[in-house]
Structure 1
């Protein structure tokens, strides 16, 4: 259903047959090369079991053995005893391979287009009009690897009201995507069109979009689904040391 770029990244050396078939049961992978920020991660694949990855030090603290399985309740209890907290899971959405292949980029002159440095003033006005918390959470920046925006007519000319940006994720060909629509323009399908346009441009550049959002962000979940994305997993990592 999903491309090998997706499964190869998230399973990282495991085959689907290596995973437990029961949700809430995890295959343990102990990896000394994990970065500190991901010294413990928990991946719950949609409809099946998942993967726990840990450095040798964290695995020892939690009593995890490479190649073994662990149940969610046992993992939670071990984390509590060891004082290791997770940051809070994200939904991980991807486009199915067939949907990705069917994407087409908007025609030139469309009101949804790629943004460049020449759009700096329009983007600055957009950022100034956006709620601060929304802007921080979306993490949409004009200097990202790929940026797409939607414009509507305004008194002083076209006004940028939706922006989506992406950057290559962890050295892969997956493009981590953020999107934000100004509050007064939501509910008009602009976010969906912008995300799909970004996905098409990313695919044309040899990448494919990764869409992540927090589990309780109902609006973002709805946007992902409206844009054709399908749940792949939920993913959690160890809480940052400075939290």
Structure 2
């Protein structure tokens, strides 16, 4: 795993076996070009970095005190029909990329014009209190604040359950990064992992 912290350098963790194959020693410093070469020698490659966003302490407190808009609520199995219509109307690539599912650990949605127009879901990362978030808005409803409202509501609920909301998006997904910032999240780092080709 690699974390690039803005203005502070970065951190790289590898299994001892991968580090040995790459010829890397613990505690050393390495530049990006050298890292790429070392991983190639080890037969490894990075997957492609994502932005990582989290709530700063003051933003967390503000979020906890908010009441979600009436059109935003937690979704349950009773919302299966509305969610199915939403998934059918959403672009397939968007649904795949966002990985929003009704059967995830926590799911919220925003309704407008009598239908579900934005949805967000979370699942806890195994063995942690990080709750990873995906969100999608139907194309014709984008730019109206629905995703921002939904993200803030689901994140507030996750915080109330003792989880740390985590928002990830690809480095070149400017609209998603803008949504994270609009929802009050702060960029923590760029995060990358060794590609798993299995």
In structure 2, how many angstroms separate the alpha carbons of the residues matched to 1:170 and 1:227?
25
Query: How big is each residue's C-alpha offset from its partner over 1:129-171, in whole Å with a ceiling of 9 and x where there is no partner?
Result: 1100000000001111111100012xxxx20010001011232
In structure 2, how many angstroms separate the alpha carbons of the residues matched to 1:173 and 1:81?
35
Report what 2:55 is aligned to: 95
Report what 2:181 is aligned to: 225
Report what 1:61 is aligned to: 21
In structure 2, how many angstroms separate the alpha carbons of the residues matched to 1:173 and 1:55?
23
Matched, 1:84 2:40: no
The match for 1:138 among 94, 98, 102 is: 98
In structure 2, how many angstroms separate the alpha carbons of the residues matched to 1:210 and 1:86?
21
Report what 1:189 is aligned to: 145
Alpha-carbon contact 1:111-1:152 (below 8 Å) kept: yes
Q: CA deviation at 1:241?
A: 1.7
Query: How big is each residue's C-alpha offset from its partner over 1:56-97, in whole Å with a ceiling of 9 and x where there is no partner?
Result: 110011111122222222112212333311110010011101
Alpha-carbon contact 1:105-1:201 (below 8 Å) kept: no
Report what 2:35 is aligned to: 75
Q: With CA pairs under 8 Å and 6+ residues apart, which has the higher RCO, 1 or 2?
A: 2
Residues 110-189 of structure 1: pairs in structure 2 closer than 5 A = 110-153=70-113, 158-189=114-145
Report the aligned-residue RMSD: 1.3
Alpha-carbon contact 1:176-1:211 (below 8 Å) kept: yes
Alpha-carbon contact 1:163-1:194 (below 8 Å) kept: yes
Give the TM-score taking structure 1 as reference length: 0.78
Matched, 1:106 2:47: no
2:13 partner SS? strand
In structure 2, how many angstroms separate the alpha carbons of the residues matched to 1:80 and 1:172?
31
Query: How big is each residue's C-alpha offset from its partner over 1:95-149, in whole Å with a ceiling of 9 and x where there is no partner?
Result: 1011112213535x81011111111110011011110000000000111111110
Where structure 1 has 5 or more consecutive residues not aligned to the other structure, the ranges are 1-40
1:102 partner SS? helix
Alpha-carbon contact 1:106-1:113 (below 8 Å) kept: no
